[in-house]
Amino acid sequence: MARPDDQTVSASVLAEIRKEADRILRAASAYGRFPTPVDDIVAVARLKIEKEASLDVGYLTRMYKRVTGTIKHAVDKVWGLFHSGDKLIYLDLSVAETKQRFVSLHETGHGFLPWQKDLYALLEDGDSALDPDPEEDFERQANVFASEVLFQLDGFETAANSSAFTIKTPMELAKRYGASNYAAIRRFVSKSHDTCAVFVLEPPVWEAGRGHTYRLRRCISSPSFSKRYGSIQWPNVFYANDNGLAAKLPTHFKRKMTTRCRVPSPVPGEQERFYLEAFDTTYQTFALVFPESELKAIKARVLVA
């Protein structure tokens, strides 16, 4: 089943988060510095990252004994932890550096956003915090804050809009900003003026009689895609032998990338054909799609840029 939305906030809350993101970016002199200087940003928030100890069950148990006040527990693997009393951010140092950077900014959001910083004495963040329950507004706010800061507000979109519309563009920009491919591709689509969407799929699994199957982690749509097609109930699983987009997806068994090709529409009831580009990271597959009618506009935009 697709994971719940983890980065949608109201327009008014987004405006407040962007104001705070701009404030911390300016204070850290971070605009135009690449990769985005996360350590300097954390320091401006008067926080520190504990880099001598990695989060594990034993460490967390010892931590709980020291805390007086409300603790917000994660229900799964803990990637990050914010201790408001000590002004310290704790990380799982075993995960990729790009994830540590995003989690650091997520925890900084908890400690920097004025309406959040005194909410908990100790706050754990795991997968269900980075993919929170829809009612947990403060977790989505921290995710949005992390994304706005990491991608330097509109800096990423400006660079993306002056580059070719291809899945390779956010992957290249990810390296510039010090972000994961996931975070960059997600922002590339969610902020795009083009009509497009990206399916984030779990690693393919072979099923007898069905071939490779891809379970949907989530689908991110651009504003114009959502406006054109509305809210769509996507299937939980895509099957390669159904001759839909999954038939064109790469697998880490054979190839990593699918270059731009035509596929049947993934939108239920839509007859127009789509174009697909895809990339398999081994951990997940990104499938970028857009309707054929958008191709002319995409080419024209790149020529103007």
DSSP string for residues in 112-133: HSTTTTTS-SEEEEEHHHHS--
What is the structure's pLDDT at 71?
A: 42
The CA-atom distances, in angstroms, between 111 and each of 8, 22, 87, 148, 305 are 20, 16, 8, 16, 39
Nearest-angstrom CA–CA distance, 227 and 216: 22
Nearest-angstrom CA–CA distance, 247 and 211: 9
SS (H, E, C) 89-110: EEECCCCCHHHHHHHHHHHHHH
Would you call the peptide bond into 114 cis, given omega within 30 degrees of 0 as the criterion? no
- Is residue 87 within 8 A of residue 47, CB to CB? The reply is yes
- Is residue 196 within 8 A of residue 189, CB to CB? The reply is yes
User: Which residues make Cβ contacts (< 8 Å) with residue 208, sequence separation at least 6?
Assistant: none
Dihedral (Cα; 13, 18, 24, 27), 10-degree rounding: -130
What is the structure's pLDDT at 123?
A: 52
What is the structure's pLDDT at 76?
A: 46
With a cut of 70, list the residues of the chain below it in pLDDT.
1-2, 4, 53-78, 118-135, 252-253, 301-305
Phi, psi of 259 (to 5 degrees): -75, 165
Task: Please tell me what DSSP assigns to residue 193.
Answer: S
User: Which residues make Cβ contacts (< 8 Å) with residue 112, sequence separation at least 6?
Assistant: 20, 24, 45, 47, 145
- Is residue 256 within 8 A of residue 250, CB to CB? The reply is yes
Number of other CB atoms surrounding residue 87 within 10 Å = 14
Phi, psi of 8 (to 5 degrees): -110, 125
Kindly state the greatest CA–CA separation across the chain. 61
pLDDT digits (tens, 9 = 90+) for 225-278: 999 999 999 999 999 988 899 999 998 667 899 999 999 999 999 999 999 999
